[in-house]
Homo-oligomer: A and B are copies of this chain.
Amino acid sequence: MVCMSKIVVSANGSKKEAIIKKAAGLFRQKGFAGTSMRELAESIGVEAPSLYNHIGSKIELLQNICFKVANEFMLHLHETEQQSNSTIGKLKQIIQFHIQMMVNEYDEVFVANHEWKQLKDPYLTDFLLQRKAYEKKLIDIVKEGIKTNTIKNIHPQIAVLTILSAVRGLEFWQGQKNQMEVLELEKNMIDHLLNGLVK
């Protein structure tokens, strides 16, 4: 029988990357354990064993997704830290980046947020350490703001938890992605998280 098709690869992306992209979409919709390699293959238009010409294993797909996302966040945070911006300015910039990541790389961010538990050691431990390090840096920024008297004397860890949780919730914004909406979303959420709800 003839080939069902070939793996379509977008401009300057490897076939492996095309598979990872599709996997991210399915893992988001049905979860890592809930997605089979046969489903993934079918969504690409290929038989399951053909995937193994390009990837090593199913779990490797999850590793790629999780660490790509983690690295992007960490990289942006490093850049933000090195700028000579006010504490509030830094926080605004970070929240804005989270929102943009949620819009532009929705599947990947969602999977990294929800399916990292399925990682196996040593990747699981690595991932958690990286997350912890990210949170610590955020907490330090809030502490700096408290020290310089631009932020209320709130519990820094809880504040960071609240902010990170709030931006994670954009998962539910799903549907509409036009730029107008995104800008309004950014504006409202940043204002809510920094200035509160009460008049």
- Chain A residues in the interface with B (C-beta under 8 A): 29-34, 88, 91, 114, 117-118, 142, 145, 149-152, 154-155, 158-159, 161-162, 164-170, 172-173, 184-185, 188-189, 191-199
The residue of chain B having its C-beta at the shortest distance from the C-beta of A196 within the complex is B196
Identical chains in the assembly: 2
A194-B198, A196-B196, A199-B149 given as contacts; is B159 within 8 A of A169 (CB)? no
- A interface, over-half SS: helix
* Contact, CB under 8 Å: A152 / B199: yes
Cβ distance A176 to chain B, nearest Cβ, rounded Å = 11
* Contact, CB under 8 Å: A161 / B173: yes
Cα–Cα distance between A36 and B162 once the two chains are bound (Å): 34
* Contact, CB under 8 Å: B188 / A150: no
Question: Out of B114, B154, B184, which one reaches A155, CB within 8 Å?
Answer: B184
* Contact, CB under 8 Å: A152 / B185: no
Cβ distance A7 to chain B, nearest Cβ, rounded Å = 26
Question: Out of B117, B118, B198, which one reaches A151, CB within 8 Å?
Answer: B198
Cβ distance A178 to chain B, nearest Cβ, rounded Å = 15
* Contact, CB under 8 Å: A159 / B197: yes
* Contact, CB under 8 Å: B199 / A196: no
Cα–Cα distance between A162 and B190 once the two chains are bound (Å): 10
Cβ distance A49 to chain B, nearest Cβ, rounded Å = 22
- Give me 5 other A-B pairs in contact (C-beta within 8 A), A162-B166, A195-B196 excluded: A88-B198, A149-B199, A164-B169, A193-B196, A194-B198
